[in-house]
Structure 1
Amino acid sequence: MIVKNTYGTSVAFSVRTFGVVPDKEFTGSSLERKKKEPEPEDNGDEAKPKPVKKKEGKPKMRHLSRRSKQKIRKKIQCFSRCYKRLSFVTLTFLNKVDDEQAIILLRKFLDNAKKRSEDFQYVWVAERQTKNDEFKGNVHFHIITNKYWKLEKWWNYWIDLQKKNGIVPRDENFKPSSAFDVKQINASNIKGIGSYITKYVTKNKAKFNCQVWNCSKRVSQLYTDFYTSMEYLENFEKLNAIRGQFEVKDTMNRPIIKVKSIDLNRQTLPLYKRLDEKNKIKPIW
């Protein structure tokens, strides 16, 4: 069996059953994506990209799939290993806003932050408001970033950005402090970061008429998994760090998948050093 590892989870799978032998030790980075080459036309010239046809009817609503939630969790955990401190930012709106308009404003906000910040990295996720009765169902955004925010400056900018784009409060003097909320996160507390992920990402079942999540290019380039032999798991067993496990067997009662949940602490985190080093030595940071 071969083991695929990420922070806190190890999945051993049968090569005999799945017929997959990874040719690389690390995976999960956007750098691995193969670029599609245009097919040449009959006249020998390079093929021009075909125009995208717009589909008629109602737009397809998007949601966070199980696979997306797993990917977000992994990206944030690897992101946190590259910086000592992170910020958790929540952006809410002054009035009712549709999803498409909200995503445009989010992009403008992030673009401005990029221009004014060196090495600005982030992961954002959309969520629906449930506690605000006036704007119930309004989209808002959670962002985990490596930036230190000057609260008053960026709060005022977010308020003004909304007003300039037609989102005005019912009361002209209404400038809620919660519109731009920032919490500092100790990046070394990987369990604390995990609690944010669980609260705002894994329980998110809402549907949106816009993109549901995204991250900066450098975060997308982070490797999130690495392969080892079964002997690697013995390290966690010796530390008594396996919190839970389950397995899937074939018709002959042979295990084909074994999933182990690992306790992340000062003793176990050094065992992920190869993933930390892989992400740090890349020329993206």
Structure 2
Amino acid sequence: MIVKNTYGISVAFSTRQFGVVPKEEFSGSALQRKKPDPDKRPKKIKKEGDKKKEIKLRSLSKRSKQKIRKKITCFARCYKRLSFVTLTFLNKVTDEEAVNILRKFLDNAKKRNEDFQYVWVAERQTKNDAFKGNVHFHMITNKYWKIEKWWNYWIDLQLKNGIKPRQKDYKPSSAFDVKQLNSSNIRSIASYVTKYVTKNNAKFKCQVWNCSKRISELYTDFYTTTEFVDNFKRLNAVLKEFEVKDHIERPFLNIKMIDLNRQTLPLYKRLDEKNKTI
């Protein structure tokens, strides 16, 4: 049996049944992706009369939600303090316009901070009747924000890109909202992720989430034998355990939900150390 571990979850599976033995101890990093050979890519030939492809609606898949949760948790283990930023718009905005303005905002932040790391997720507004369904963004970053300065910049950036307020001089303070997160409290990070990411089933005409290059390179999982999980049992830290069965009721996965606390977090030290070298 091989166990795939990430913060809070351990999944045991049989290599005999799956036929896969992990080549490396760690996984989940963009560094492990094979770069496509540019010479082998088929060249697209544009034909006259080709119709523009319809923009497909995007949403967060279950796999994407799991990936975001893992990336943010590993992100939080690399920095002592994080900021939770919410960016909303002055008026109705298309998804394409919104994500374009967000990219300009992020590009400016990168220029002013060499080690600016972030994860952002799109969400639909539901409580604001004036802009119901309008896209807005939630972002976790390692940056300390001078709120008044960046609030003014976010407002001005919208105005420069044609997003005008419905009333003259309307500049809501909530347009740029920042909350400080103590990354040592892993549960507080998880609560934000659960609230704004895992329940997000909306569809968009733009990218639904993204992260900085270094966040994409973080490793999120590591493989061990079943003896590693016995440590959690000795600490009474297994919150829930269940099996996943196949179509003929044969168990092929054993999943354990692990309580993250001062006793269990040191057991993830190897993952912390691997990521801090990036």
**The TM-score by the shorter chain falls in which range?**
over 0.9
- 1:254 Cα deviation (Å)? 5.1
- The correspondence for 1:259, drawn from 255, 261, 275, is 255
Aligned residue identity for 1:24: E
Structure 1 counterpart of 2:37:
37
1:199 aligned counterpart, secondary structure: helix
Q: Structure 2: how far apart are the matches of 1:85 and 1:265?
A: 18
Structure 2 counterpart of 1:164:
160
- 1:244 Cα deviation (Å)? 0.3
Q: Does 1:51 align with 2:44?
A: yes
Aligned residue identity for 1:58: E
Aligned residue identity for 2:17: T
Aligned residue identity for 1:135: F
Q: Does 1:61 align with 2:57?
A: yes
Mapping 1:108-127, distance limit 5 Å: 108-127=104-123
Cα distance 1:156–1:252, how it changes in 2: closer, same or farther (>3 A)?
closer
Aligned residue identity for 2:99: I
Structure 1 counterpart of 2:205:
209
Q: Structure 1: how far apart are the matches of 2:45 and 2:213?
A: 24
- 1:51 Cα deviation (Å)? 3.4
Q: What 5-or-longer segments of structure 2 have no aligned partner?
A: none
Structure 2 counterpart of 1:272:
268
1:130 aligned counterpart, secondary structure: coil
Per-residue CA deviation, residues 40-71 of structure 1 (Å, 9 max, x unaligned), is xxxxxxx6762386863531000000000000
Structure 2 counterpart of 1:6:
6
Cα distance 1:169–1:256, how it changes in 2: closer, same or farther (>3 A)?
same
Structure 2 counterpart of 1:90:
86
Per-residue CA deviation, residues 187-233 of structure 1 (Å, 9 max, x unaligned), is 11110000000000000000000000000000000000000000001
2:20 aligned counterpart, secondary structure: coil
- 1:117 Cα deviation (Å)? 1.3
1:152 aligned counterpart, secondary structure: helix
Cα distance 1:116–1:49, how it changes in 2: closer, same or farther (>3 A)?
farther
- 1:8 Cα deviation (Å)? 0.2
Cα distance 1:250–1:62, how it changes in 2: closer, same or farther (>3 A)?
closer
Cα distance 1:88–1:256, how it changes in 2: closer, same or farther (>3 A)?
same
CA RMSD of aligned residues (A): 1.6
- 1:37 Cα deviation (Å)? 1.4
2:200 aligned counterpart, secondary structure: coil
Q: Structure 1: how far apart are the matches of 2:243 and 2:126?
A: 37
Structure 2 counterpart of 1:20:
20
Q: Structure 1: how far apart are the matches of 2:126 and 2:116?
A: 30
- 1:281 Cα deviation (Å)? 1.9
Please give the TM-score of this superposition, normalised by the length of structure 1: 0.93
Query: After the TM superposition, which of the residue ranges 193-202 and 55-64 deviates more from structure 2?
Result: 55-64
| Number of aligned residues | 275
1:188 aligned counterpart, secondary structure: coil
Please give the TM-score of this superposition, normalised by the length of structure 2: 0.95
Q: Structure 1: how far apart are the matches of 2:188 and 2:102?
A: 26
Query: After the TM superposition, which of the residue ranges 166-175 and 51-60 deviates more from structure 2?
Result: 51-60
Q: Structure 2: how far apart are the matches of 1:252 and 1:167?
A: 56
Structure 1 segments (4+ residues) deviating >2 Å: 51-58, 248-255
2:138 aligned counterpart, secondary structure: strand
Q: Structure 1: how far apart are the matches of 2:104 and 2:75?
A: 23
Q: Structure 1: how far apart are the matches of 2:212 and 2:238?
A: 33
1:12 aligned counterpart, secondary structure: strand
Q: Structure 1: how far apart are the matches of 2:9 and 2:100?
A: 36
- 1:118 Cα deviation (Å)? 2.6
Cα distance 1:250–1:204, how it changes in 2: closer, same or farther (>3 A)?
closer
- 1:252 Cα deviation (Å)? 7.5
Q: Structure 1: how far apart are the matches of 2:42 and 2:116?
A: 32
Aligned residue identity for 1:99: D
